[in-house]
């Protein structure tokens, strides 16, 4: 029995050794803020697919919007010998310590979509410019409403930086037009069902609105659904953000007015490519790249597909 135990232990060590050094294939960890939202699923899967197509092993870690869980994911990734981390942070400030931890362990981190507030911790950050995207969206919003009307804003999760980046970008322009009046501002947590319910209630208080701006496309779909239920879908213009497939279809059918296309595919692939170049010896990466978010309306919808360009 004792001997069996020793053999078993030996076997364990051998596999462990192999896991660390024996495998010549390098590994990339994709640590993503959440997999509860199709946009991030797409981001994570694209990053993993690109890593694999470059000849690396890749595994996705889900932080479930929890910075503490994210810290565990980093520990596990570093301990199990991942050579690079393609990272979508849960929080700009809260995630800094995790990135620093990886850097100290000699594992380069490439941020995707969301930023960490530290100039040197990450090897490179490939970010989505939500703020400027929303300024473009706001321009179109003002134009479509002819600078006059009542509108509703539906915010995402109020503890999320993206929520406020988008809202601030939008208001940085819209607030200059006194004819545009925000009659309600509510949160629906980036959730389609909540957005529908919130919109249904808002429509009771303000049956005469002209437009809705939603912090993401899931909420835009939910708000649209509420407008259909109230028989107001033809009169009220809906604006979203993300470029999700349901909304792309809805813009084609002129049900939703506009969205802002982010490019998760571009960001994920760039991050994986950078990690590949890092392994091959390159060290001078741009600290920060802003990937513009582009305005999508019925006029240019032909150029776009869900989460990207044709």
Taking the complex as a whole, the smallest distance from the CB of residue 290 to another protein amounts, in Å, to 27
- Per-residue contact flags (x/-) with another protein for residues 193 to 222, judged by CB under 8 A: x--xxx-xxx-xx------------x--xx
Closest approach, Cβ 143 to another protein, in A, equals: 27
Looking at the Cβ atoms of 41 and 97, the one nearer to another protein is 41
CB of 198 to another protein, least distance (A): 6
Residue of 114, 166, 192, 237 that binds another protein (CB under 8 A): 192
Per-residue contact string for residues 96-135; x = within reach of another protein by CB under 8 A: ----------------------------------------
Q: CA–CA distance from 2 to each of 11, 14, 15 (Å)?
A: 14, 18, 20
Residue 303 CB neighbours (<10 A): 11
Structure token digits, residue 148 = 């006059």
Task: Give the x-and-dash track for 2-21 against another protein (CB under 8 A).
Answer: --------------------
- Binding residues among 231-260 for another protein as defined by CB under 8 A: 245-246, 249
Q: Residue 134 in contact with residue 165, Cβ under 8 Å?
A: yes
State the nearest-atom distance from the C-beta of 95 to another protein, in Å: 21
Cβ atoms within 10 Å of 18's Cβ, excluding its own: 10
Q: How far is the CB of 180 from another protein (least distance, A)?
A: 17
Does 150 contact another protein by CB under 8 A? no
What lies within 8 Å, CB to CB, of 246 at 6+ separation is 217, 221
Q: Is 231 left (phi over 0), alpha (psi -120 to 50) or beta?
A: left
CA 35 to centroid of chain Cα atoms = 10
The interface region with another protein, picked from 107-115, 136-144, 179-187, 291-299 by CB under 8 A, is: 179-187
Q: Which residues bind another protein (CB under 8 A)?
A: 35-38, 41-42, 45, 155, 158, 183-187, 191-193, 196-198, 200-202, 204-205, 218, 221-222, 225, 228-229, 245-246, 249
């Amino acid at each position: 029995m004792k001997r069996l135990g020793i053999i078993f232990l030996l076997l364990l060590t051998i596999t462990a050794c192999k896991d660390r050094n024996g495998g010549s294939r390098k590994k990339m960890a994709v640590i993503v803020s959440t997999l509860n939202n199709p946009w991030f699923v797409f981001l994570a899967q694209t990053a993993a697919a690109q890593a694999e197509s470059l000849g690396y092993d890749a595994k996705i870690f889900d932080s479930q919007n929890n910075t503490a869980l994210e810290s565990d994911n980093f520990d596990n990734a570093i301990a199990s010998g991942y050579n690079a981390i393609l990272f979508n942070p849960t929080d700009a400030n809260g995630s800094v310590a995790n990135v620093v931890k990886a850097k100290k362990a000699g594992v380069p981190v490439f941020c995707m979509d969301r930023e960490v507030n530290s100039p040197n911790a990450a090897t490179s950050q490939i970010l989505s410019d939500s703020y400027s995207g929303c300024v473009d969206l706001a321009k179109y919003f003002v134009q479509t409403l002819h600078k006059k009307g009542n509108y509703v804003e539906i915010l995402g999760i109020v503890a999320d930086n993206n929520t406020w980046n988008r809202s601030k970008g939008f208001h940085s322009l819209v607030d200059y037009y006194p004819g545009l009046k925000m009659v309600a501002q509510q949160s629906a947590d980036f959730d389609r069902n909540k957005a529908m319910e919130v919109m249904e209630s808002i429509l009771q208080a303000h049956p005469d609105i002209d437009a809705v701006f939603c912090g993401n496309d899931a909420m835009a779909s939910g708000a649209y659904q509420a407008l259909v239920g109230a028989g107001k879908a033809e009169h009220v213009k809906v604006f979203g953000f993300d470029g999700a497939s349901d909304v792309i279809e809805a813009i084609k059918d002129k049900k939703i007015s506009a969205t802002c296309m982010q490019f998760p595919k571009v960001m994920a692939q760039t991050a994986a490519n950078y990690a590949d170049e890092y392994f091959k010896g390159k060290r001078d990466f741009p600290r920060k790249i802003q990937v513009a978010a582009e305005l999508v309306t019925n006029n240019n919808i032909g150029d776009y597909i869900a989460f990207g360009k044709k």
